[in-house]
């Protein structure tokens, strides 16, 4: 017999089914709660306990620091796979064989160009506009260039084309945003290059001369993208699913995900970490002083890149990124004092009762910015790079939600505002 739980509410006892996941995770199914309890709802601000979906894409266990895409440990994927192979895995649920992979990469290669009018959009942005805002708008604008993508009930092949277009155009759009912000001419995609090398060439090259992309740097970048590729139901992914559940086009749903990622409590933390480290450096490098600020409840300052809603032991991505960070800096012969400050903060935090009790550890964003800085990316582009990596995960989650024909995402609330009252004309109001 399947497991159930009991809830006594409003004087009646309800039996609630328990859903068991493939990793033995348990969820209480409350889908019939309102109907069977006479209108009771659950309240879980910030969704700290609430599962919004079942999903077969990513498994993570925050207590044990486990992260797997479709069953494959993140450590093995980072070591052996490539970003595009991981993208295929997330979107299709299986690693590709050689034929499938070559079809996938060649169809992406065929769609790397973007409409020339995209340049006109970029020209219209004020000089100091943040690249995340531009990226969100550009992705949403793709729906205007591909109006067939507005139909949520197209065949699988058509949907795949929309997906491929987005994966293919993203590196072009990201690098063009940067080029325009610098006043530089854009570099067109070079389809003889692999995904990451082509991106680095468009980002750092010029039409007059390409760049010799160092394979160590390309490989570090590829690993970073894999590490960011999916992370189950986080803020931006939940946003993509909710927006997509209204049957808005894929491009609109992903654009909303980019906006959700922007904030410093989420993907924007990678930019915030570097800004924090620079502030600490400019302030004389006294790490302890800033740790004390982070612990002071009257001070809004938080140690950026520390803490995670789910990881309460360590973030496996942070361990891999720290290793990659050391390798990149050594290869480039860079001594970055910000890395020393970061290591010092981590050392203090790991011994400090405040951080130990609250299970606050470095997250994915703590060291990634130092690698991006070493490669030469400007700080404002860091969260955009996160979005480039997260794209296949967002797409996979959107596709799963659509394929399962999930209902529109529409949470309940508990109303705590005024009770009914009568309208008074403005002249009689005090
Ligand atoms: N510095 C200092 N104190 C912190 C930090 C931090 N970085 N993070 C959490 N805390 C404290 C809180 O003040 C709270 O203390 P209290 O119990 O005494 O009130 C306790 O730890 C729990 O924090 P919450 O905010 O309730 O935890 P939540 O799970 O809601 O938030 C979050 C997680 C948003 C990541 C938070 O840890 C944070 O703001 N970190 C800094 C920003 C950051 O690095 N974000 C990137 C996350 S990874 C990603 O999204 C890609």
Distance (Å, whole) CA 371 – CA 324: 8
Between 369 and 21, the higher pLDDT residue: 21
Pocket test for ligand 1, best of 307, 315, 363 (most atoms within 8 A of CB): 307
Q: What percent of the chain has pLDDT over 90?
A: 85
Q: Could you tell me if the CB of 363 is within 6 A of ligand 1?
A: yes
- The helix or strand, by DSSP H or E, that contains position 121, with its residue range, turns out to be helix 117-124
Could you report the per-residue pLDDT of 178-206, keeping only the tens digit for each?
Answer: 999 999 999 999 999 999 999 999 999 99
Contacts (Cβ under 8 Å, ≥6 apart) of 247: 152
Q: Could you tell me if the CB of 265 is within 6 A of ligand 1?
A: yes
Strands of the sheet containing 26-28, edge to edge, are 4-9, 12-20, 26-28
Which residue has a Cα nearest atom 28 of ligand 1?
Answer: 309
How is residue 148 written in tokens? 């067939």
Does position 325 have pLDDT exceeding 90, yes or no?
no
Q: Could you tell me if the CB of 205 is within 6 A of ligand 1?
A: no
Asked if residues 197 and 219 have their Cβ atoms less than 8 Å apart, the reply is: no
Distance (Å, whole) CA 406 – CA 408: 7
| Residue 153's pLDDT band (cuts 50, 70, 90) | confident
Could you report the per-residue pLDDT of 90-128, keeping only the tens digit for each?
Answer: 999 999 999 999 999 999 999 999 999 999 999 999 988
Long-range pairs for 123-127: beta carbons < 8 A, 24 or more residues apart: 123/180, 125/180, 127/181
Query: Which is nearest to 132 in space by CA: 396, 397, 379, 399?
Result: 379
Dist. CA 361 → ligand 1 center (Å): 10
DSSP state of 405: T
Q: Could you tell me if the CB of 267 is within 6 A of ligand 1?
A: yes
Q: Could you tell me if the CB of 364 is within 6 A of ligand 1?
A: yes
The predicted pLDDT at position 1 comes to 59
Single out the catalytic residue among 228, 230, 308, 315: 308
Catalogue all structural domains in the chain, each as residue range(s) with its CATH number.
Answer: 4-67 (2.20.28), 68-266+380-403 (1.10.580.10), 280-375 (1.10.230.10)
Does position 29 have pLDDT exceeding 90, yes or no?
yes
- 3-class DSSP state for residue 283? coil
Q: Is 299 among the catalytic positions?
A: no
The predicted pLDDT at position 163 comes to 98
Radius of gyration of the chain (CA): 24
Q: How far is CA 100 from the centre of its chain?
A: 26
- The helix or strand, by DSSP H or E, that contains position 196, with its residue range, turns out to be helix 195-204
Does position 313 have pLDDT exceeding 90, yes or no?
no
């Amino acid at each position: 017999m399947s497991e159930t739980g009991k809830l006594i509410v409003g004087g009646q006892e309800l039996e609630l089914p328990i859903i068991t996941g493939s990793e033995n995770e348990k969820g209480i199914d409350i889908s019939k709660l309102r109907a069977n309890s006479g209108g009771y709802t659950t309240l879980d601000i910030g969704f700290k306990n609430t599962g919004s979906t079942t999903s077969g894409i990513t498994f993570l266990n925050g207590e044990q620091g486990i992260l797997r895409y479709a069953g494959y440990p993140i450590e093995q994927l980072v070591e052996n796979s490539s970003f595009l192979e991981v993208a295929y895995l997330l979107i299709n649920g299986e690693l590709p064989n050689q034929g499938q992979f070559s079809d996938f990469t060649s169809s992406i290669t065929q769609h790397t160009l973007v409409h020339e009018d995209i340049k006109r959009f970029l020209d219209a942005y004020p000089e100091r506009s943040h690249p995340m805002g531009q990226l969100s708008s550009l992705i949403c604008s793709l729906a205007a260039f591909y109006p067939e993508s507005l139909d949520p009930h197209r065949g699988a092949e058509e949907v795949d084309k929309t997906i491929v277009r987005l994966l293919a155009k993203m590196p072009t759009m990201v690098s063009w945003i940067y080029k325009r912000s610098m006043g530089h001419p854009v570099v067109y995609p070079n389809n003889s290059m692999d995904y990451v090398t082509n991106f680095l060439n468009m980002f750092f090259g010029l039409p007059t001369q390409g760049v010799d992309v160092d394979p160590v740097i390309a490989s570090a970048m590829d690993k970073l993208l894999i590490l960011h590729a999916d992370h189950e139901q986080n803020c931006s992914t939940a946003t993509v699913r909710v927006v997509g559940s209204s049957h808005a086009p894929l491009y609109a749903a992903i654009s909303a995900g980019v906006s959700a990622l922007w904030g410093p409590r989420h993907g924007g933390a990678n930019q915030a970490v570097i800004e924090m480290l620079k502030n600490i450096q400019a302030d004389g490098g006294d790490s302890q002083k800033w740790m004390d600020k982070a612990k002071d409840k009257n001070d809004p300052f938080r140690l950026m890149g520390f803490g995670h809603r789910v990881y309460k032991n360590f973030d496996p991505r942070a361990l891999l990124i720290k290793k990659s960070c050391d390798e990149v800096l050594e290869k480039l012969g860079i001594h970055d004092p910000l890395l020393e400050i970061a290591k010092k903060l981590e050392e203090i935090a790991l011994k400090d009762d405040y951080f130990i009790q609250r299970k606050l550890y470095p997250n994915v964003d703590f060291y990634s910015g130092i690698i991006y800085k070493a490669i030469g990316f400007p700080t404002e582009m860091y969260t955009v790079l996160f979005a480039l990596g997260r794209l296949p995960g967002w797409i996979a989650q959107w596709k799963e939600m659509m394929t399962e024909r999930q209902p529109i995402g529409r949470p309940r609330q508990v109303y705590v505002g005024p009770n009914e009252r009568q309208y008074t004309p403005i002249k009689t109001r005090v």
